[in-house]
Copies of this chain bind each other. A is one copy, B any other.
Amino acid sequence: MLKIGIDIGGTNLAGGVVDDQGKVIVTDSIPTKADEGYEAVLGRIIQLVNILREKAKEEYPDQQIDAVGCGVPGIVKNGVVINAVNLHWKNVPLAKDLYAAVHIPVTLINDATAAAVAENRFGASKGKDDSVMYTLGTGVGGGIIVNGKVVNGAHGVASELGHVIQEPNFYSCNCGKNGCLETYSSATGIVKQYEHEVEKGLKTDLELEEIAAKDVIDAAREGDEAAVAAFEVMTDQLAKNISNMVDILDPEVFVIGGGVSHAGDFLFDKLKEKAGKNITFKEVVGIPEIVPAQFGNDAGIIGAAYSGEYV
């Protein structure tokens, strides 16, 4: 049985047909053109589903498509997009509208949560009923799975780990609060922290213009003073969040995805060391299992496709 996943981005609608091994066997994409409004974007999503369906029928004539899932960059609840700022959508019944056109069961899921579903169904947290995923990119996305279901919450705003307040930071978050995990541990956050350390007078060999998170982490690996300081802050705060999540949910595994996760053992060893120190019941829990995500850009499509099994 095949499933269709649509990753609704601010720029592009990326779609794929996913097989029962989590492989994306057919893909396509079309521009979102969110400025044209919901009805127009809905029309393009329908178009994309139909294109994918036709392609799948040609290439895999024996296989049926039994589900369509849409990953949405915003708050979703019971098939309705409550709010998606970048798309200018509020309370749009996307699941119902899409189903009316394609006649395949439709599920909606938050895009960061979709990544957690992809990892849980086929990747780094496969076979585990309870997992917590962080996606460290421009922001920090979260995906929480408890008892094999994604935690969506009473209003659809659960799993927003990026906006958990840690402790006061030198700059405020886009969300309007101060001290959010995102301001410490996102790709953006680590660069800002590095620049802050340089301003404070710490030494650095990096040029200050066009610095990316990867540059800061690579420099930290080489011992660059300001970069090391930024990396320590970033990992202190993420580890604090992880050890707190052990007290709250005690998941079987933590998965870390997004660009920053490519830092490898340098990042993961540090997180395990720091999170391990703050586990309340160290003797029982030991060092929490913290592993890198296995999927990259495809995670949104795969997770959306399989979201029906998780909501």
Contact = CB atoms under 8 A, between A and B. Distances in A.
A271 to B, nearest CB: 15
This chain's copy number in the assembly:
2
Interface string A164-197: 1111100000010100000000000000000000
Return the 4 tightest CB-CB contacts between A and B, nearest first: A153-B250, A158-B250, A167-B167, A163-B280
B244 A164 contact: yes
A281 B75 contact: yes
Given A153-B251, A158-B249, A166-B167, 15 more contacts: A83-B281, A144-B249, A147-B147, A147-B149, A154-B251, A155-B284, A156-B250, A156-B284, A157-B285, A158-B250, A160-B280, A161-B247, A163-B247, A165-B240, A165-B243
A130 interface: yes
A225 interface: no
Residue of A75, A158, A247, A281 with most chain B CB atoms under a 10 A cut-off = A247
Contact of A157 (B82, B158, B284): B284
A29 interface: no
A27 interface: no
A252 interface: yes
Interface in A52-110: 75, 82-83
